[in-house]
Structure 1
Amino acid sequence: MMRVPKPVSSRILHVKRTDHGVVLTSKRYKMRILAVSPSILFISYTERRTFSHEEKSELAGNLPGSDLLCTQEKYLIRLRTAVITAEVSRETGRITFYKTNLTDPDVPGELLFAESEERPHEMEEFSSYRLTDEVREGGTVTTADGAKDVPDQGARRQVGVLYHVRENFSLQNDEAVYGMGQMEEPVLNLRGRTVYAHQANRKIAVPLLISSLGYGVLFDTLSPVVFCDSEQGSSLYGHAAEELDFYFLAGEDGRFRMEGVVAAYRKLTGKAALLPRWCFGYLQSKERYCSQEELLSVAETYRKKHIGLDGVILDWCSWKDGQWGQKTLDPERFPDAAVMNHALHLQNVHSMISIWPNMDESCPDYQEMREQGCLLPASHLYDAFDRRARELYWEQTRRELYRSGFDAFWMDSSEGVTPEWGHSIKPEPWQMMQEFLMVAGAYMPEKLTNAYSFFHALGVYEHFKRSEKRRKQGSQRRPVILTRSATIGQQRYGCILWSGDTGASWETLRAQVLQVQSFSLSGFPYWCVDIGGFFVKRGEPWYWGGEYPQTWKDPAYRELYVRWFQFGAFLPIFRAHGTDCSREVWQIKRQEGKNSPSCDALIGTIRLRYFLLPYIYSEAGKTWLEDGMLIRPLVSAFPDDRTAREAQYQYLFGPSLMVCPVLNPGIREMEVYLPRGTGWYDWHTSQRFEGGQWIRTETQYDRIPLFVMEGAIIPMADGGVEAPECAADAFRKGMIRFRVYPGRDGSYAYYSDAGDGYGYEKGDYRLEQMTWNERQRQLFSDEKAVEAAAVTVIEESV
């Protein structure tokens, strides 16, 4: 008979107190538990002799630490802050997390999170290999996402030893969990699911899990993660790490609310940089504007038609033909970018240009990277993990693009590798992850394969900001980065994420309503979509998945586009983009004639967005100042309302507006759930409803169903009947008007600042405390009555 291998004992033999924590030692492992704050505990588990001392780029820096009370009993070790209590089993090292019982601290409060009784923490050592730079036999493959390297399977060298790590735990029966970034599948509640969290064209991997019970788990690895929840239990698996590290997060206010967990995540990993005000207007893009003349004509047409616009976006191939990724413009098509940008700026229109991390060998930029040793091994990608390479990448960007006045950078294809786009049929989720591990791990450090975009964004953000602060002429500008990939901490770098290159279908639109909520619960405030889908037609590869070969000629596509556009107006960033047909709002009119209900609906949606800009920018400011959320699922805002948890296709935009996108064609009315605990007003009709009920509401073609919470105070642009045509117009002196929805006392903190530059970081902003007194029927600003001319009180319609 075979001899059974004896497991190494996990029994804790030694407890050592440290500043703000303890180190627990058994024959099998060392485990460190630290109080980062009363609401954040750090747990680090290793089977090495010592813990890793490697600096973690994804964290915000040195955090002060907090008192952690330790009491030892026969069978357990109890660790307690004012908010969280953790009990550690002496026999197995299993940790169980509770709310701290403030009445009797020696008795745990409500159960939050429990690790598995057997093998709660697992590690497996493996050797890590990377390509050498000696041989390049793998070649490249051409996709709609550009030319991609295919690694040679030989010519690798061992670079170190790492670990596969797994945290095993049990979730409670009625508990829901959310987050993990943006998955392609239409899922919000992750219970009963397996999530492969690696970077891909249509996936964004952020290993933050948030519970409906008001706590979160940040699995601190920058390699791919698998979350699995089944009848056998739950786990978080990290592919490559030095040790098993995670943070247990409670709400920063100690109230165990989901938005408080997001605030705790930001305290740990850094504030979300505040974007300039113009970013929250309408941004026009397409694949692609081919000349300076075309780009200027688009901006001029918007201004002539008096349709709101704040930015135009120049997609790929602005370089000379054959010089993929070169950061200079083709002089025949773009003869003078500085003149072009100056002309745009005179019209209060900003510009964004696409730049790529991979470069063709014919590019001067590639040759310079190669000569200075700034490429990843055997690839066309610059080494964003290396500080020297980031500096050179910025210098190449600065020489022409930055100096010619582009306001923002679209850092496309920031995953570094997207092997799933090399297939003609869609790979299975496990296959996508397997190939990502193989390809990304060949070129990049295995423990950082989910973090290429982090370092890529870091370099451009910091150099842009530094360059702006040295400017001697003109106003300083905040960095803006549009990108497709992100991981822990990347919200610090002015990043707007988008959902990837999607296909035009109602199924995609429905999925995106869930994706924005999931991504918001992953700690990131700024997200947008390619309105109308990137691919409108059906192509041969699996990802070219549009359903409308006639594009604008098809009334079914026009209806889909209008509904998508209305949804896009109630995202943090409002941007149209795609291929197969131009996306300027007047293009849809060419198929419907002079009386175009579709074009009218698009223009009406832009008008509404601009009227709401003071509210939107105020909420963005508080996202930075208070670590708040622009998008909140109903489960976050109404945790005690079980029906609200299930109404997943509705969400809050800011604290007061509930958005209910139309997600099916040809319908004249739809069901909407109004959460209990407050009254609700229909934005369009001013009809009031009691909360805690389902209602049927009309779905007029030119409207998105929108409801406002009773007691809400909404700052709006006051342009009379004419909507502002750019963000600057919406904030001119005397232009702000407050709309009040009565029925109970209300309050609102109205944030305002210069709209650009860095004064806000030094306290140069204003936070007005607005209050509505229902009995007096009066609005107050910092306890002073607001003039009636600046207030609109909504009268309930019958």
Structure 2
Amino acid sequence: MKISNKILNIKNYDNYLDIDTNAAKYRIILLNDEIVRIRCTFDEEFQEEASYALVMTAWKDKMDNLLKNERKIVEAISTEYKDLDTHIQLSTKKLNINIYKEPFAIEITDKNGNIVQSDLKERSYVKDTLGRLYHYSCMEDTDYFYGFGEKSGYLNKKKRRMRMHNVDTIGYDSEYTDPLYKHIPFYIKFNSKNNIASGIFYNNSYDSTFDMGCERSGYWNKYSYFCADGGDLDIFFIYGPEIKDVVRNYTDLTGKTKLPPKYSLGYMGSTMYYTELEKDSDKAILQFLDKCSEKGIPCDGFFLSSGYTTGEDGKRYVFNWNYDRFKDPKDFVRQMKEKGASLAPNIKPGMLTSHPLYKEFDEAGAYIKDEKEEKSQTDRYWGGKASFVDFTNPKGRELWKKHLKESLVSCGITSIWDDNNEYEINKSESICCFEGIKKEVSALRPIMPNLMALMAKETVEEVYPNIRSYIVNRAGFAGIQRYAQTWAGDNNTSWKSLKFNIPVILGMGLSGVANQGCDIGGFFGPAPEPELFVRWVQNGIFQPRFSIHSCNTDNTVTEPWMYPSYTKYIRNAIKLRYKLVPYLYSLLFEASASGSPIMRPLIYEFQNDKKLLNESFDFMLGNFILVANVLEKGAKTRKVYLPEGATWFDWNTKHVYEGGQTIEFEVTLDSIPMFLRSGSIIPISEDLMNIHNDSAEKLKLIIEPSQESSFVLYEDDGITNNYKNKEYLKTIISIKKNNGVKIKFEKDGNYNKQVKKMTIDLICKDVAPVQISLENKKMSMFLDEKEFEAIEEGWFYDAEQKIAKIKYKNINKSYDININFSVKDLISI
């Protein structure tokens, strides 16, 4: 066992600092004022820099060319240090990095002296006799831990031991199963005593383990540790002090969420059932779309399960169309588009040895090799023995793109569903090309799904240069958000899955993956009972990926209308989803710009409220909407804690509640409990039924003006890359309070297909307006609601809901609306 205990030598190269200890070498790089890189190797020299995960670096890296369109190279901060006898000190504008000489340990503090990261002295960096690497950190009773990618259970992972490994976990228990499909070695530590958040990303793709205080020894202070099966300890410390700062800085490092086409926010139909029919699966899917239309249920796409690839022997062969089920794929895609729906076919990276294309890939050396590099490695897979495409090999990437293009993308398909890409290769010594370096698969397993998604993205963009690809991935590593939307795999059909899939999604959002969801209704198990199905759809409408998908074990298919007497509840929920599309699309843009999650834990928005430290199931949708879905069978009432620091308004009734209290209210099967935060600015579309085809000419804003705030309404054509050339419209809507309320609309961008009619529902908590002006021109006030409905411009006060309804023709420039709330003294008049 090797343990670093003593500094032997220090050498400063100005933009990095090298330290030799009695057991290992260290390189310290101050990437910026908030991010510190600590690289540790127990070998003689550091390995060549070669990261697929990082998009911000300050050094040369072997992947610079592969990632040239994504990577930003910055200049690191000077590593000039002070020698303070027991330790040396490096500094940024926000942090001090204290490196102790003996016993060797690194401690990071903010400028107020708060310790935000501290190694466990005498046990900080360890390599054991099996080659495993450990990093031990001190922890306090007031520490809470969030993130870790896709993990089961409650949001706070304190006292948890978790394994990082990609696994096909069909029918998993969303409270206990570990690991799941994603491998994202990043977490956020929040110290509730000093109210400071920080994060650590371990840029290591070997299998690893996090122990967040589960292990305890009386000989040491309380600690957590990270253990990797190989590689180096490549640690990126990320400072907050707010949780949202950590997420922003982490996504600066590993990439922001890709802005997908707008239709990805629509309801995406899916089931394995249709593609397993003996014939005419294409007709069944087209009939599904027609029935959605007939039932008044919006739908914008269909995820095509792998049954479409079934060969004559009944096995699935990627890139192979089954023409009994799909007679003319190109024409089928055309008919789907005519009905306003995209098609996302399922593809898998494992190719059975009986695959018609197996030999071509094998002879090209495109598969992962055995440990002797003599032949393609085979392992168990769907249908038998298979080899796996090596996406770290240019030959593998080239062939994959060739066949993806020929079989799917050339048919007009721009949406790809990457599935079963966990790379469960049991022989860990199998060799990957790794851009010519050659490395065992155990070092690169979770990288493969990221590169698979990148290949899908590139293929679509090569065939249709100006069309936005829509890629969906099941597995992934840090940075998967740059290429794909993800989902939480093959969940079990149960009330528990409904409930615990929420913190799974919230944890992903805190880990940089803002665009994800789960299979609504449950994937594996019998059909959901009616009440469970309704509640799941009511919850699923808030997830960025909204798809009802199933592989029911009782010969049924989960469809929106499967329980006719409950269809109205399903339809109402899905139509609410479509109302929220302008808000959701703006949140997707925000995620692409700043990394912010779309579904946010309450602690993310209300870091000062200590009652939220363990809240796992209620969440914020963006900045303004608190969602408290009904998650219990047979519920008649629902309790909700409303965070302090805001006033809250019931979505439906606009009833007012002060924050910092728990309320209880009655619920029915139609209930979707939602609360508006004071200062809310929420754009909605009341007549949207299809994102592909409907031109939303009307936009409503729900505004609560008691608190100053702002929101960026984002609009573009939703499908092309023209937004990269400023063909977008960003409207910064802000609430200003000074002698009344001013609502400012500041516009930026060249997208000119703006909505024609604007309406505002202005929530008036205490008093109705006495006057409203548009561009300094007094608007007409109407006392009769029918008269108000007949005109194009003016306002009306709804006394029951305490809402001032304002409407006017949209203005294609920046403008203001002024609201005067002065109380008119009628008696003295």
1:599-635 deviations in whole A, cap 9, x for unaligned?
A: 1111001110111100000010111122222121111
Confirm whether residue 120 of structure 1 aligns to residue 128 of structure 2: no
Q: Normalization by structure 2: what TM-score?
A: 0.80
CA RMSD of aligned residues (A): 2.4
Residue 763 of structure 1, CA deviation:
3.5
Amino acid at match of 2:198: Y
Confirm whether residue 414 of structure 1 aligns to residue 399 of structure 2: no
1:195 corresponds to:
162
Residue 658 of structure 1, CA deviation:
0.9
Q: The residue matched to 2:117 in structure 1 has which SS?
A: strand
CA contact (8 A) 1:38 1:67 kept: no
Q: The residue matched to 1:624 in structure 2 has which SS?
A: helix
1:496-515 deviations in whole A, cap 9, x for unaligned?
A: 21111121111111211111
Residue 73 of structure 1, CA deviation:
1.1
**Pair 1:367–1:699, CA change in 2 (3 A):** farther
Instruction: Name which of structure 1's ranges 58-67 and 350-359 shifts more when overlaid on structure 2.
Output: 58-67
CA contact (8 A) 1:710 1:743 kept: yes
1:289 corresponds to:
274
User: CA–CA distance in 2 between the matches of 1:218 and 1:8?
Assistant: 22
2:260 corresponds to:
275
- Structure 1 unaligned residues grouped into runs of 5+: 102-108, 127-162, 419-434, 470-475, 538-550, 590-595
User: CA–CA distance in 2 between the matches of 1:180 and 1:307?
Assistant: 36
Instruction: Name which of structure 1's ranges 655-664 and 437-446 shifts more when overlaid on structure 2.
Output: 437-446
User: CA–CA distance in 1 between the matches of 2:317 and 2:224?
Assistant: 40
User: CA–CA distance in 2 between the matches of 1:754 and 1:8?
Assistant: 57
1:369 corresponds to:
361
**Pair 1:8–1:192, CA change in 2 (3 A):** closer
Confirm whether residue 524 of structure 1 aligns to residue 513 of structure 2: yes
1:611-668 deviations in whole A, cap 9, x for unaligned?
A: 1100000010111122222121111111111112233211111111111121111111
2:318 corresponds to:
326
- Please give the residue correspondences for 1:310-389 in structure 2 after superposition, counting only pairs within 5 Å: 310-319=300-309, 320-322=311-313, 323-377=315-369, 378-379=377-378, 380=386, 381-389=388-396
Q: The residue matched to 1:561 in structure 2 has which SS?
A: helix
**Pair 1:55–1:646, CA change in 2 (3 A):** closer
**Pair 1:285–1:704, CA change in 2 (3 A):** same
1:455-475 deviations in whole A, cap 9, x for unaligned?
A: 222222223223321xxxxxx
CA contact (8 A) 1:124 1:165 kept: yes
2:760 corresponds to:
791
User: Size of the alignment, in residue pairs?
Assistant: 692
User: CA–CA distance in 1 between the matches of 2:431 and 2:424?
Assistant: 6
Amino acid at match of 1:268: L
CA contact (8 A) 1:647 1:673 kept: no
**Pair 1:485–1:189, CA change in 2 (3 A):** same
Amino acid at match of 2:417: W
2:242 corresponds to:
257
Residue 8 of structure 1, CA deviation:
7.4
User: CA–CA distance in 2 between the matches of 1:18 and 1:762?
Assistant: 40
Percentage identity across paired residues of the two chains:
25
CA contact (8 A) 1:369 1:389 kept: yes
1:765 corresponds to:
728
User: CA–CA distance in 1 between the matches of 2:670 and 2:580?
Assistant: 17
User: CA–CA distance in 2 between the matches of 1:637 and 1:620?
Assistant: 17
User: CA–CA distance in 1 between the matches of 2:319 and 2:3?
Assistant: 56
User: CA–CA distance in 2 between the matches of 1:25 and 1:186?
Assistant: 41
Confirm whether residue 78 of structure 1 aligns to residue 89 of structure 2: yes
1:468 to 448, 457, 464: 464
Amino acid at match of 1:579: C
1:746 to 709, 718, 721: 709
1:45 corresponds to:
40
Residue 563 of structure 1, CA deviation:
0.6
Q: The residue matched to 1:416 in structure 2 has which SS?
A: coil
Residue 707 of structure 1, CA deviation:
0.9
1:624 to 592, 602, 613: 592
Q: Normalization by structure 1: what TM-score?
A: 0.83
Instruction: Name which of structure 1's ranges 687-696 and 26-35 shifts more when overlaid on structure 2.
Output: 26-35
CA contact (8 A) 2:365 2:395 kept: no
Q: Could you say which structure has the greater relative contact order, defined with CA pairs below 8 angstroms and 6 or more residues apart?
A: 1
CA contact (8 A) 2:155 2:614 kept: no
2:226 corresponds to:
237
**Pair 1:216–1:788, CA change in 2 (3 A):** same
Confirm whether residue 582 of structure 1 aligns to residue 557 of structure 2: yes
**Pair 1:363–1:331, CA change in 2 (3 A):** same
Residue 190 of structure 1, CA deviation:
1.1
- Please give the residue correspondences for 1:353-752 in structure 2 after superposition, counting only pairs within 5 Å: 353-377=345-369, 378-379=377-378, 380=386, 381-417=388-424, 445-469=441-465, 476-493=466-483, 495-537=484-526, 551=527, 557-580=529-552, 581-589=556-564, 596=565, 598-719=566-687, 724-728=688-692, 732=696, 734-752=697-715
Amino acid at match of 1:220: N
User: CA–CA distance in 2 between the matches of 1:735 and 1:93?
Assistant: 64
CA contact (8 A) 2:188 2:199 kept: yes
**Pair 1:676–1:75, CA change in 2 (3 A):** same
User: CA–CA distance in 1 between the matches of 2:609 and 2:78?
Assistant: 35
Q: The residue matched to 1:359 in structure 2 has which SS?
A: strand
User: CA–CA distance in 2 between the matches of 1:201 and 1:496?
Assistant: 18
CA contact (8 A) 2:428 2:441 kept: no
Q: The residue matched to 2:743 in structure 1 has which SS?
A: strand
**Pair 1:646–1:584, CA change in 2 (3 A):** same
**Pair 1:123–1:703, CA change in 2 (3 A):** same
CA contact (8 A) 2:428 2:440 kept: no
Residue 795 of structure 1, CA deviation:
4.5
Residue 358 of structure 1, CA deviation:
1.4
